[in-house]
Amino acid sequence: MRKLACICLSLIACGLEERSDFLVGRTCDPGIPASCDPGQSCLPHRLVEGSYADFRCRDPASFQRTRGQEPPLAFCDGDAGLVCPTGLSCAPDRVRERDGGARGMVCEPPDDPFGPRD
């Protein structure tokens, strides 16, 4: 019984690492393409003083709205090799008050109900 509990806890811990908020995938290194599965992109989820941070694997399904909530933002930058998963576009984000009016380039589905963002 104790062994079964350890296995269950291990599976739960793995699940939390891979999908910590049930939308964003596991951590990755943008310099190592194999750090994400095929069909996924290693994208930053924070912009700190002009530098990208918090890289995680994302696939197209992770950009869908869930229970009426927007998915976590992932920044993109073709010049830096940060390309959205196939089927998504890299477009300017809408202005968000919490970011002081800054607009980064983010991945979004082409049929995003909140677009266009320019």
Encoded tokens for 27: 């951590």
Distance CA 113, CA 34 (A): 32
Give per-residue pLDDT as tens, 47-102. Answer: 888 889 999 999 998 888 877 778 888 999 989 999 999 999 998 887 655 555 55
The residue ranking higher by pLDDT, 35 or 48, is 35
User: What is this structure's pTM?
Assistant: 0.70
107: pLDDT strictly greater than 90? yes
Give per-residue pLDDT as tens, 8-23. Answer: 444 444 433 333 455 5
Pairing of strands 89-92, 105-108: antiparallel
Q: Residue 22: what pLDDT?
A: 52
